[in-house]
Structure 1
Amino acid sequence: MNLFEAMKVFVKVAEVGSLSGAARILDLSNPSVTRHIADLETYLGARLLNRSTRRLSLTDTGSAYLERCRQLLADLEQATLAAGMHAANPNGVLRINAPVSFSVNHLGRLLPLYAQRYPNVELDVTLSDRVVDLVEEGFDLAIRIGKLQNSSLVMRKLAPVHVLTCAAPAYLEQHGVPQHPDDLARHACLTYAYTMPDNEWRLQRDGKVHTVRIGGGLRCNNGDLLLAAALAGMGIIRQPTFIIGDAIRAGKLLPILTDYRSDQLAIHAVYPSRQHLSAKVRTYVDFLAEQFGESPEWDRDLPI
């Protein structure tokens, strides 16, 4: 028995004073209405209605139960409406996991814009370059960069990622400009610890992949620190344009080996499920896709 459905039928029968009248209003058959009332009385172990050939009336138990049913059904309707409004209107705490350098350089400036547009959402952002377990660690979504492994997570592309190889003018003047990927093996290359393997760089040209074993005086898990070291002339850096773009435009870093491309990468928003997607997640992902797109501002005037 569907208890709430039986309660709705009972309330309507009591209001119209007729089983057949309730059946017409509820678009049910007469036997279906009769069965709902009988099942409800059996469930309660009490008679709710007195029936005769001429009239139908409530028992004392039925009268008391009717008021409780009306209140419960009204509360259920309000709860349903509230849940629907909650799902349709962004609100509550949105827990986001995102990589450090990208967030500091580009995500942070957008947080006020989203907050102004959706003031009922409270943003809780955790920065980490490791791959977190969204469900186990309680995140609503994550921003991830690179090639993503197949998983049960839903992925939406936010922007392309271009990687350039570059160095400070002073470094290149002292050590020379590499003309071929193999030349990198003889240079100090500043490596990112989360690249696997972190002692190899892959560069492509005309469909041919050049894999170069590199080394140098610095290995780090943060792109901004690698940028600072490259600006200081410590070695050659190979990082995304969202980290190094401003330094290249300012002439503080010079791109090298620009005819050679990196693997195709992208920035994605990932979240656990597309089904019953909350408004706070949906609006935030839509917002980032709108702000970044296929031609993000960090790629402006760069040799990509």
Structure 2
Amino acid sequence: MQNRFEALKVFCSLAETLQFKETANRLAVSPPVVSRLIAELENYLGESLFIRNTRQVKLTDFGQAFLPKAERLLADSEALFVPSRARMADEMTGVVRISVPHLPGETAVIEAVAKRLAAYPDLVLDWGKDTQRLNVVEHQIDLGVRIGTVQNNRFIVKVVGETQEKLIATPEFLAAHGTPKRWRDVSDFPLVAHIDRNTGRAENWYLGGDIQITPTKPAVITNDYQAVLPFVRAGLGIGFVLDGMCKADLQAGRLVELFADLPRPSWQIYVYRPQRLVTPLRVKVVFDVLVEVLKTHI
């Protein structure tokens, strides 16, 4: 059997997903390749690893006993082949494409990442802003950050924090325009709205449950999420932004939160990279650095 380690990687992934198609997606191979490697491994071992039928796939008793051994062997092999300094420099040469949304404290995050990666002069960061959840394969994205709920099992994911959105205005704005008594009244006030690039319309504001505010007559419209807060600070309207972006202004009294007692959905902030049979070391290093930086700054 030629590709033992590749077969073990496929086996461990299939043991986790119990789905041939999902395993193929994770490892960026076709389902027939997964089936072939599992069959070759079973033939080599002389034992069945999985019970397969039209309804489900599950590990055999032998497969359950074999799994921790396979995982340990793969981990040991990774440790064995830690690159030398010369090879490390070669492995850290090339482009890493990163896709990020608008982040709280984004400038500080970028500066911290840049400082951590300054030791690799031949590493090229392609840092792109993603406001539409770009297709990872089509845009050749190596890793990225998303805010929301982790839904794609094809990704290796590290959750680095949580965030909520807050309804905010300046004290001066509220003194001039009054304070909305009910959440339904908010849409009658001047609002600073962010445009959804997919629809071309102002994004709705979700406060949890069935509470939704639609900015039908905004005073300001922008496709730059980072611009919402400065417009609100200038007193042009009520805005809806991530808590990390407005935290300092709220603490200093420059902004006031409206309807703080209403429940808000919490969104995960996570770093992801596609599951692949072979991932370049430079991608793994940048992934780990980004995780550590975001945990510190968010």
Is the contact made by 2:194 and 2:224 (CA closer than 8 Å) also made in structure 1? yes
The 5 A counterparts of 1:85-164 are 85=87, 90-100=92-102, 102=104, 104-116=106-118, 118=120, 121-147=123-149, 150=152, 152-164=154-166
1:228 matched residue in structure 2 = 230
**Cα deviation code 1:126-172 (max 9, x no counterpart):** 23423222222222112222345546344332221221111011111
CA shift in 2, pair 1:95/1:117, >3 Å = same
CA shift in 2, pair 1:138/1:213, >3 Å = closer
| In structure 2, C-alpha distance between the alignment counterparts of 1:154 and 1:91, rounded to whole Å | 22
CA shift in 2, pair 1:272/1:87, >3 Å = farther
The reply on whether 1:203 has 2:207 as its aligned counterpart is yes
Deviation at 1:199, TM superposition (A): 4.8
| In structure 2, C-alpha distance between the alignment counterparts of 1:151 and 1:158, rounded to whole Å | 17
| In structure 2, C-alpha distance between the alignment counterparts of 1:148 and 1:221, rounded to whole Å | 25
| In structure 2, C-alpha distance between the alignment counterparts of 1:177 and 1:253, rounded to whole Å | 13
TM-score (norm 2): 0.60
Task: Report the residue type matching 2:206 in the other structure.
Answer: R
- Identity of counterpart residues, as a percentage? 21
| In structure 2, C-alpha distance between the alignment counterparts of 1:171 and 1:188, rounded to whole Å | 10
| In structure 2, C-alpha distance between the alignment counterparts of 1:220 and 1:261, rounded to whole Å | 26
Secondary structure class of the residue paired with 1:136:
coil
> How well do the aligned residues superpose, as a CA RMSD in angstroms?
3.3
The 5 A counterparts of 1:38-77 are none
| In structure 1, C-alpha distance between the alignment counterparts of 2:153 and 2:89, rounded to whole Å | 26
CA shift in 2, pair 1:269/1:90, >3 Å = same
| In structure 2, C-alpha distance between the alignment counterparts of 1:231 and 1:132, rounded to whole Å | 31
Worse-matched range after superposition: 185-194 or 98-107: 98-107
1:28 matched residue in structure 2 = none
1:19 matched residue in structure 2 = none
CA shift in 2, pair 1:280/1:158, >3 Å = farther
Higher-Rg member (1/2): 1
- Structure 1: unaligned runs, 5 residues or longer: 3-80, 299-304
Is the contact made by 1:161 and 1:267 (CA closer than 8 Å) also made in structure 2? yes
Secondary structure class of the residue paired with 1:249:
helix
Secondary structure class of the residue paired with 1:214:
coil
2:215 matched residue in structure 1 = 214
Is the contact made by 1:223 and 1:243 (CA closer than 8 Å) also made in structure 2? no
Deviation at 1:236, TM superposition (A): 0.7
Task: Report the residue type matching 1:279 in the other structure.
Answer: L
Deviation at 1:234, TM superposition (A): 0.9
Deviation at 1:182, TM superposition (A): 1.6
CA shift in 2, pair 1:285/1:159, >3 Å = farther
1:257 matched residue in structure 2 = 259
Deviation at 1:179, TM superposition (A): 3.7
Deviation at 1:107, TM superposition (A): 2.6
Task: Report the residue type matching 1:214 in the other structure.
Answer: P
- Structure 2: unaligned runs, 5 residues or longer: 3-82
Q: How many residues are aligned here?
A: 214
Is the contact made by 1:163 and 1:261 (CA closer than 8 Å) also made in structure 2? no
CA shift in 2, pair 1:90/1:108, >3 Å = same
CA shift in 2, pair 1:144/1:270, >3 Å = same
| In structure 2, C-alpha distance between the alignment counterparts of 1:132 and 1:213, rounded to whole Å | 25
CA shift in 2, pair 1:102/1:124, >3 Å = farther
| In structure 2, C-alpha distance between the alignment counterparts of 1:252 and 1:147, rounded to whole Å | 31
Is the contact made by 2:113 and 2:289 (CA closer than 8 Å) also made in structure 1? no
Is the contact made by 1:165 and 1:239 (CA closer than 8 Å) also made in structure 2? yes
Is the contact made by 2:142 and 2:274 (CA closer than 8 Å) also made in structure 1? yes
The 5 A counterparts of 1:269-280 are 269-280=271-282
Of structures 1 and 2, the one with the larger relative CO (CA 8 A, separation 6+) is 2
TM-score (norm 1): 0.59
1:53 matched residue in structure 2 = none
